[in-house]
Structure 1
Amino acid sequence: MKTVHLEDAGALPPWRRPIALLFLTALAMPIAFSTWSALLNNFVIEVADFDGADIGLLHSVREIPGFFAVGVIALLLLIREQVLGLVSLALLGAATAVTAWFPSLYGILTITMLSSIGFHYYETVNQSLQLQWIEKNRAPQMLGWLAAAGSAATLVIYVLIVLLWDRLGLSYNAVYLATGGLTVAIALFCLLAYPQFETPNPQRRRIVLRKRYWLYYALQFLAGARRQIFVVFAGFMMVERFGFEVHEVTALFLINLVANMIFAPLMGRAVYRFGERNALIFEYAGLALVFFAYGGIYMFGWGVVLASALYVVDHLLFALALALKTYFQKIADPKDIAPTAAVAFTINHIAAVFLPVLLGLLWLVSPAAVFGLAAAIALCSLGLALLIPRHPAPGNETRLAAITPAPAE
């Protein structure tokens, strides 16, 4: 496979440049993953008779590969980062394609583990390549557009599900096969059609833990815990409490996608204009309010309209998480990006391994308490976000750090 230095990539046709590859994979990943997510709650309840404890166990198993994302560093000794990302993307698609072939608790757990390995290793590498290939001054806007591209791809899939699920009597197997297979096809095309892009800063092939990145690590840990509660229980609530069917859940996802396509680029511009600190403060304060309101739905019987609106707002606020990526890009040694992406993914998933199954048990007793815990985690994140400086840089990683030259590493 041909190798092209990043600074020479401008001579390639536009469709073969690094940014084009990032956009194409941004389209491919959610075709499989978002379809899996949209059908999951109905699939496991209707086919495998899951309850809250089962769904918590499933998501704990799904997050185990994320906890071991640091293993990417070892794989990079054997395989190029770009190739590893595309192979992982193909694994995600293949596992998604055959999900409906395993309609039992243990079968779903097994195939979920395989798809999760593909998803988490792809995401680890993808985040690393984004920060290596996109210039710092363009990163917030470009990350916003990449998020919008992923939403656009999923939008097409969800529209088809909403329009055709009942009309054509679609099955879980048919939808999983089609979307997972399409992701595999795109991944294989990318492997064959694009050269290997060499960055000017070769990445370290060992675990990197730096004291000066401590705030980034802490925010990643809390983000992982908070995200799990939303991913596992917000959608489950819509099915269990309000009786949403497949086309109704997908319609809600569809609204999220349209909103994300519109607002993700605007949020990227907002991060560029107002800075990572202000963006993350706004995100975490908003999420705390949303999770408190989720709890109120169970405690005070607030209705389905409010629950649906909160679900959309919640999803939009998560789009501001791109500010955490650009914060790290600004404070990092350029050679640390790949290993730190792997370490950060592992830190992000520490809580994810045990939290869903424990909160699944708590859910059986008090769903409101689950969302109350999420609100508390969001408030902790808010407190840490206040420590981000207005202009983060090496030597100025937090407001507690003196503005000094970055240490030699």
Structure 2
Amino acid sequence: MYRFLLLLTLGATFGLQSWRILFDNFSVQVIGLDGSHVGAIQSIREIPGFLALLVVYVTLFLKEHRIASLSVIILGIGVCVTGWFPSFWGLALTTLAMSFGFHYFETVNQSLTLQYFDRDTAPLVLGKLRSFGAATAIFASVLFFCAAPFLSFEGMYILSGAAIVALGIYSLVGDPTHSDAVPQRKKAIFRKRYWLFYFLTFMAGARRQIFVAFSVFLMVQRFGFSIQEIAVLFLFNNLVNYFLSPFIGKAIVRFGERRILSLEYLSLIFIFIAYAFAESRVLVAALYILDHIFFNFAIAIRTFFQKVADPRDIAPSMAAGFTINHIAAVVLPFIGGLLWVVDYRIPFIGGAVMACVSLAAVQRIPAELRRYQADMATGSGQ
């Protein structure tokens, strides 16, 4: 299962990284979009995440590992055809296809990881997968840096998308599952006792959209970063995360979810405020790297859930979590895009406020999770 998830994580990461490296420059230089257009497309991109709950019903017909492979294939197709439709609606539709593939893969990826690895191993596996994902992103950054002077946007999209589709097809061979896995409930569930997981997931999705939708757009529109400069930034960013991600998993095991998440949100308050008032290209690039490092700390939300959840609830709860994560994500980039037109600082100040709220919420995670697990086992909340 680890090798299977690693293979598809490499494909999904390469697809998302390809889309992200090319998106802002393709939007501005080829299509001529402004902040409101980009915000609208970013909102459209999150619709599949909002519909991730439907994965539960897909499992009635397909096993989760098959869904993972097919999702990566769909992701690759979305990336492959993006350059053929250089318009607002063309980019919106191809983004929607790419996003369905990515979000449905991530839903079953998280579910399978928490099902097949125990509570002490899961943070380490998640950290390693992030690390290898960063290595794949490094490869993508080098690839596009070298290819940009010689290939059109259309050519870069076709080559990267075709490679992802081929990898997804290859992963359809074989069955990585085993009979020891706990059978999962094949219906949507929402339980009162998981409220803190739901809330933290919602806030993580809201704050992440500020980072995804506007950090690179800030660099391209306000500071004039070229596609090669963005590729170099992504390269350095992922090089840092390649080495740090495994240590994040180890830190969660050693220090616990509450301390790790507290550090994340306390840091994000200052990072978002700095985004709003940065006047230096070097500073805004450094903020992007720091932002991405602390984003990896969010795996502690899922490991917290694994420690307090009924093992049979993992698959439907990961799907529910993805939907909750994207409630704000569907509308926030669009609203943020409109606010950007008024003043580009407003979305980042909003991100700092969200980080404050999240920091307060993570203090509700018990310092001693074993005692909390015992309370949950007694049925103190449904």
Q: Please give the TM-score of this superposition, normalised by the length of structure 1.
A: 0.90
Cα deviation code 1:168-222 (max 9, x no counterpart): x221112111111111111111111444444431000111111110000000110
Cα deviation code 1:62-108 (max 9, x no counterpart): 11111111111111111111111111111001111111011011111
Q: Secondary structure at the match of 1:70?
A: helix
**How far, CA to CA, are the matches of 2:247 and 2:378 in structure 1?**
32
**How far, CA to CA, are the matches of 2:289 and 2:376 in structure 1?**
42
Answering whether residue 87 of structure 2 is matched by residue 104 of structure 1, we say: yes
Q: CA deviation at 1:384?
A: 0.5
TM-aligned CA distance change 1:142 to 1:261, over 3 Å: same
Partner of 1:124: 107
**How far, CA to CA, are the matches of 1:255 and 1:50 in structure 2?**
27
Amino acid of the structure 2 residue aligned with 1:384: A
Amino acid of the structure 1 residue aligned with 2:198: Y
Partner of 1:5: none
Answering whether residue 342 of structure 2 is matched by residue 359 of structure 1, we say: no
Answering whether residue 183 of structure 2 is matched by residue 202 of structure 1, we say: yes
Answering whether residue 372 of structure 2 is matched by residue 396 of structure 1, we say: yes
Q: CA deviation at 1:396?
A: 1.4
Correspondence for 1:333 among 279, 295, 310: 310
Contact 1:31 1:180 in 2 (8 A): no
Partner of 1:77: 60
Partner of 2:36: 53
Contact 1:88 1:121 in 2 (8 A): yes
Partner of 2:324: 347
Correspondence for 1:34 among 17, 20, 24: 17
Partner of 1:249: 230
Correspondence for 1:407 among 365, 373, 379: 379
Correspondence for 2:357 among 380, 385, 388: 380
Matches within 5 A, 1:148-227: 148-166=131-149, 169-227=150-208
Contact 1:203 1:337 in 2 (8 A): yes
Q: CA deviation at 1:328?
A: 0.7
Identity across aligned pairs (percent)?
A: 42
Q: CA deviation at 1:403?
A: 3.7
Correspondence for 1:309 among 262, 272, 286: 286
Q: CA deviation at 1:404?
A: 6.0
Worse-matched range after superposition: 191-200 or 41-50: 191-200
Contact 1:89 1:122 in 2 (8 A): yes
Contact 2:77 2:97 in 1 (8 A): no
Partner of 1:239: 220
Contact 1:132 1:199 in 2 (8 A): no
| Runs of 4+ in structure 1 over 3 Å off | 193-199, 402-406
Worse-matched range after superposition: 199-208 or 235-244: 199-208
Partner of 1:320: 297
Q: Which runs of 5+ in 1 are unaligned?
A: 1-17
Cα deviation code 1:286-326 (max 9, x no counterpart): 111100111122xxxx2111111111101100011111111
**How far, CA to CA, are the matches of 2:125 and 2:68 in structure 1?**
19
Q: Secondary structure at the match of 2:46?
A: helix
Q: CA deviation at 1:405?
A: 3.3
Partner of 1:12: none
Answering whether residue 256 of structure 2 is matched by residue 279 of structure 1, we say: no
**How far, CA to CA, are the matches of 2:122 and 2:365 in structure 1?**
18
Between Structure 1 and Structure 2, how many residues are aligned? 381
Amino acid of the structure 1 residue aligned with 2:346: A
Worse-matched range after superposition: 137-146 or 238-247: 137-146
Contact 2:206 2:332 in 1 (8 A): yes
Cα deviation code 1:107-164 (max 9, x no counterpart): 1111111111111111111110111111211111121111001111121121122233
TM-aligned CA distance change 1:404 to 1:151, over 3 Å: closer
**How far, CA to CA, are the matches of 1:38 and 1:198 in structure 2?**
40
TM-aligned CA distance change 1:305 to 1:96, over 3 Å: same
**How far, CA to CA, are the matches of 2:305 and 2:148 in structure 1?**
42
Q: Please give the TM-score of this superposition, normalised by the length of structure 2.
A: 0.97
**How far, CA to CA, are the matches of 1:317 and 1:249 in structure 2?**
20
Correspondence for 2:348 among 371, 374, 390: 371
